[in-house]
Amino acid sequence: MKHILQQPIWRYYDQSISVKQRSPLESFATDDTLCQLVGQSMSPPTIRTWVHEASVVLGIQDHRLPYVQQGMELLESRGYHPIVRNSGGLAVVLDEGILNISIVLSEQKESLSINDGYDVMVELVKGLFPEVAEKIEAYEIVGSYCPGSYDLSIEGKKFAGISQRRLRQGVAVQIYLCIEGSGSQRAALIRDFYEHSLQQEETKFTYPQIMPEVMASLSELVDPNLTVEAVVIRLQQLLNYWAEEVRPQSFYDEELALYGFYLQRVFERNTKMLERK
């Protein structure tokens, strides 16, 4: 998968500071925009970094919880803003100690399987943390929040989860990296959310039984001095090593119109989801 990361040109869009106080919904719209731009060869392959203040992103299944309103009220009482994404997956935590990275690639010339997309991100993460690359494993961590077959862990402790978005021949592979703070405290928050939202009622869908002790941050697992800012610098250095040219670019004026379209669509979908309860 390293050959996919060794692109002649990488566009690099750093939003690790600029969107902190904005809604994560804006990041979903940004990745949708990049999917179309990259997928339709209107932009080079792109890597984007993004960080948001305390939020919990719920999936469609989470929104179907019998007492989800009480669960969302709990999150708000703990200082986390709940939003609903109109896609699969389950609840994940975003805050200033979590770095999100999106790799956006085109399928116009060559298709990229689901597993290939995941493998590209695993390769990137191992490149970011060479000191523990051999210890990083990809398999489902039972008891974590938003469990999946490509959970990333070190010695059984999950520190990252990967998802994908496919649109207009573009593929956005997204990861959240728990870098600073306590992974188990974030997991305990999601455990409490499910307890308040289920209230022991039986449901057709099986929600995860969260065990906070199976989750940790990279500052807990690798280096206590590790920060989001330091990992962003590592990523920039890695891109300069892999690519012939790195273009730090936000959206151009003509791209902003497309972004506005996707932004409106994302917010409208979120509003509709919240109105259904």
Residue boundaries of the structural domains of the chain: 2-275
pLDDT of amino acid 277: 52
Q: Determine the average pLDDT of the residues in 49-76.
A: 94
pLDDT of amino acid 32: 95
At residue 251 the predicted structure's pLDDT band, cuts being 50, 70 and 90, is: very high
At residue 269 the predicted structure's pLDDT band, cuts being 50, 70 and 90, is: confident
Among 25, 34, 90, 146, the one annotated catalytic: 146
Q: What are phi and psi of 87, to 5 degrees?
A: -155, 180
Query: CB-based burial of residue 32 (10 Å sphere; 0-12 exposed, 13-18 middle, 19+ buried)?
Result: buried
Q: For 186-230, how does the pLDDT look when each residue is reduced to its tens digit (9 = 90+)?
A: 999 999 999 999 998 999 999 999 999 999 999 999 999 999 999
Whether 234 shows a pLDDT value over 60: the answer reads yes
* CA nearest to 103, candidates 112, 95, 92: 112
**Tokens read off for 184:** 């188990």
- Decide if domain 2-275 falls under CATH 2.30.300.10: no
Whether 145 shows a pLDDT value over 60: the answer reads yes
- Catalytic residue list contains 178: no
Whether 276 shows a pLDDT value over 60: the answer reads no
pTM above 0.85, yes or no: yes
Provide the 3-class DSSP secondary structure of residue 214. helix
At residue 109 the predicted structure's pLDDT band, cuts being 50, 70 and 90, is: confident
- The residues near 91 (Cβ < 8 Å, ≥ 6 apart) are 56, 57, 58, 59, 62, 145, 146, 190, 193, 194
At residue 273 the predicted structure's pLDDT band, cuts being 50, 70 and 90, is: confident
Per DSSP, what are the bridge partners of residue 228?
none
**Tokens read off for 196:** 């308040």
